[in-house]
Structure 1
């Protein structure tokens, strides 16, 4: 048969040249490559997977020598290898289609990605990528993320506990202020009134009356302070009444109108901790309105659902625009604290705002979580 000329070379010469080039590429490529011969028995079952060749990168990464494995079967070279590496070669040989697999190789101590293809029927070439460092970095990142999540959960728990501890302290101070200071002031007023009724000197009566007026103001200030420190309504009547009173105390002195409404009622009495946290969060939102919103009207809605309670605080203030400003506001300790405390009890916060159209803040918390007595 006459050879077909290819320039200065015959077809056989050209094939030899191509083979030589491919062989140089095989040995010089940086990633490990192995070439296998797959043989079959008379029934068509896979008999052996034999190493035909490997490149220097395979020797370096896998820790073997070429002269020790050429001509040997896969099982002889890697007797305890994971089944998937051997099966990859067989699957590619049978289908003739490329296939990939990645996983741990305990024999080599590596995490490998393998891509197998069949250059010639009965032969399979597999290119390996050593992804060990990538896998370690990924595992380290996942570990760091897990630690960060745990730290964040601890922070949320700590913030919630601090809030509850603060409220316990506030309540203790309010009770002492009411029981001791308030009682003492009431007794002083009673004695002044008695003294006023017993004296008949006009000058003395006038002085006593002036003192009683001053004392009356002190008594009223003490009562207001007691409510500001810790509202007894929260413990004696419930969350809606306490929030309505709170809104009046915070907003009315700044000429901000209040529209309050409670919708529905909890199937079960709200737990003490839920009551306290929602009361504190709403107080912080109202203080933010006074400080930043430049509002003239605030609407407060308390919605009791089957398993959740939602508090919506809406103002007609200046609002804010882009996400950057919104995120900046959320990073303030007040709203950050609210967010973390809500998450700690399985709740959430949503903020909606537009410039010149006010702000809406929605707080959602479960009604069934009870970490203490409701009273």
Structure 2
């Protein structure tokens, strides 16, 4: 079997790149080690930058997003028992974010791909990129048979634990990592959100986030220790703890319901450099991870796709390698800015195990300055809505 671009991973970044390539007439095959229903069963973040929305429009996959997504012009920072609204639109010349679940993005891209009869191979075991410095190909196993796909380029969209980055020789790659000493306990429930915009709460008991998937489905988080267990948290205990960390006027109107998903996610920052190795390119979580505090994970993957698509389109349409050669430095420049922003948001809003009362007061002073200085608020808003790409 042969294709122009072999994409490993059928999450949103792999599907988005595949659809952009298809729309441009560039042949591609996507492989994934799991079933389609497993991918659609994963619950992920859902705050989309305008750049991500534009890419989905370009991929002809944004109809439902515009019909069902929730545009947000701001969000609240809650501390000292009060709300402090960050006016995203007012501070950035009208820019906003769109709340739309990552699972729905994936579903829309899958539907678009299937409507064009494009090939996605699910349950492909032991997928491996091979000989990517010279004559690239991908091998995989299915139904007990080993298969080979020859290609011009291999793109690794297979996440932090995927085979693509692991296939790179150790001496050819440098990794930077920070592990945070806490996690997020997240809960999903079919209940109206406590507020029409997101609330990021800094509290002496720890961080909390009030988010949503729709006006009838809410996603809430509380900071917890890394050694905590989901089974230690009944729904009642979660709702009680969330109320403690919110300003009183939100706690009083918080609606509760039985959860249908509950999990603990550790937080880390991770970057691998470079993001290109011959004919192999890393995209999204295969190359970088950010804590979800700044809502950058999916959006960074989308900007990677943007830069790589430009390079591949230029290669096939103009016979030029300039944009492909610029892929890694261009993507990493934006990645590191987002990593910095996510680190800053995480550091400012969470209570670390060794945080003293003095340091807590410093966090509160920083938040007070941030919300009362237009210049500081503008810097926050510009990063939150997404730096240009």
Q: TM-score, normalised by structure 2?
A: 0.22
Higher relative contact order (CA 8 A, sep 6+): 2
Q: More strand by proportion, 1 or 2?
A: 2
Q: More helix by proportion, 1 or 2?
A: 1
Higher Rg: 1
